């Protein structure tokens, strides 16, 4: 392959290319230093400038210049802001119908039609004899073009059983009886009815919702059901009676009766004991004159 000829007119038109990039940018300061030129083809050269705007690390402005044969004036063909090898890029684009999550659909929102939805299967297969038999599709309960398939049933069953209305939710673990024995449970038809039903108790937090048969809550119809035995043994009562111990703190304010007389004055007679008669001294005393 022959080497591309360097066009001196186009390569030298750096200021023309910078002016075009500054005009396309939000601010002239968003165009940084000149990074070089790329010869695209004969009489076509691209100038590259660093992108100085915040958040555009690794990006660069590309301004492509061209000139007509035998022309001495460069003209601007296009201006682009392109990412480099180490540029910060947004996440790959995902269509909005694939970004939806359960609970995102609100009033007025309409999901796109999916002709190949793996959760559904044809409700009936026309044979061509429907018109001849004269039976409308509605009488055969086949008015739905598609019905739930095995994959859709399995996904729904797993989602419901592991959700907040399954057997592992806190309210179910605290209940004494399962929904299977509750009078307010209306079983579903078909294969899902073997595992799920609809709660019809207005006092239950799951009223009007699909619950598993092994779910439960405190609004069970048979609230007098016996409490299942606990796995923990009951603590045994002490065999001996309680022993009452009198401590020093409980008797410190009580004084014995003998201590009352000790509080009196030494020469004051006791108020409780009678005063004794004077006692004569023994032996010979002085004679009276």
If pLDDT is split at 50, 70 and 90, which confidence band does 59 have? Answer: very high
CB 169 within 8 A of CB 215: yes
CB 62 within 8 A of CB 41: no
What are 67-107's pLDDT values in tens digits? 999 888 999 999 999 998 888 888 888 887 778 887 787 78
CB 50 within 8 A of CB 32: yes
Spatial neighbors of 275 by CB under 8 A, at least 6 apart, are 269
Lay out the sheet containing 75-83: strands in order across: 31-41, 44-51, 59-66, 75-83
Nearest to 47 by CA among 70, 16, 4, 69: 16
Q: Say yes or no to pLDDT of 3 above 70.
A: no
What distance in Å separates the CA atoms of residue 94 and residue 87, rounded to the nearest whole number?
A: 20
Q: In the chain, which ranges are E strands? A: 31-41, 44-51, 59-66, 75-83, 120-122, 146-148, 185-187, 196-199, 210-212
What are 197-256's pLDDT values in tens digits? 999 999 899 999 999 999 999 999 987 756 666 666 666 656 666 666 677 665 555 555
What distance in Å separates the CA atoms of residue 108 and residue 84, rounded to the nearest whole number?
A: 42
Q: Say yes or no to pLDDT of 111 above 80.
A: no
What pLDDT does residue 289 have? 41
CB 50 within 8 A of CB 76: no
If pLDDT is split at 50, 70 and 90, which confidence band does 270 have? Answer: very low
Mean per-residue pLDDT for 246-274? 52
* Six token digits for residue 19: 């002016």
- Of 16-30, 121-135, 169-183, least confident by mean pLDDT is 121-135
CB 111 within 8 A of CB 101: no
What distance in Å separates the CA atoms of residue 35 and residue 61, rounded to the nearest whole number?
A: 9
If pLDDT is split at 50, 70 and 90, which confidence band does 260 have? Answer: very low
Mean per-residue pLDDT for 31-54? 94
Nearest to 21 by CA among 79, 91, 95: 79
| 257 backbone dihedrals φ, ψ, rounded to 5° | -65, -35
């Amino acid at each position: 392959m022959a080497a591309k000829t360097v066009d001196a007119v186009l390569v030298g038109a750096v200021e023309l290319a910078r002016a075009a990039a500054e005009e396309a940018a939000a601010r002239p300061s968003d165009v940084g230093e000149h990074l070089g030129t790329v010869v695209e083809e004969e009489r076509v050269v691209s100038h590259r400038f660093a992108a100085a705007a915040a958040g555009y690390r690794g990006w660069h402005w590309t301004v492509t210049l061209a000139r007509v044969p035998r022309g001495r004036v460069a003209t601007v063909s296009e201006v682009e802001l392109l990412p480099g090898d180490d540029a910060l890029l947004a996440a790959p684009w995902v269509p909005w119908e694939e970004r939806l999550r359960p609970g995102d659909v609100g009033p007025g929102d309409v999901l796109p039609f999916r002709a190949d939805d793996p959760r559904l299967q044809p409700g009936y297969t026309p044979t061509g004899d429907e018109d001849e038999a004269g039976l409308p599709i509605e009488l055969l309960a086949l008015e739905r073009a598609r019905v739930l398939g095995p994959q859709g049933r399995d996904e729904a069953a797993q989602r419901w059983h592991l959700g907040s209305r399954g057997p592992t939710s806190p309210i179910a673990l605290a209940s004494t009886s399962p929904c299977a024995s509750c009078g307010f449970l209306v079983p579903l038809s078909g294969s899902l009815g073997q595992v799920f039903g609809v709660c019809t108790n207005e006092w239950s937090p799951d009223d009007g919702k699909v619950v598993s048969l092994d779910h439960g809550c405190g609004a069970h119809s048979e609230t007098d059901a016996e409490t299942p035995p606990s796995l923990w043994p009951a603590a045994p009562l002490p065999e001996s009676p309680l022993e009452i111990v009198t401590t020093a703190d409980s008797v410190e304010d009580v004084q014995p009766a003998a201590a009352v007389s000790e509080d009196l004055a030494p020469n004051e007679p006791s108020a409780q004991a009678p005063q004794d008669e004077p006692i004569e001294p023994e032996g010979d005393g002085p004679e009276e004159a």
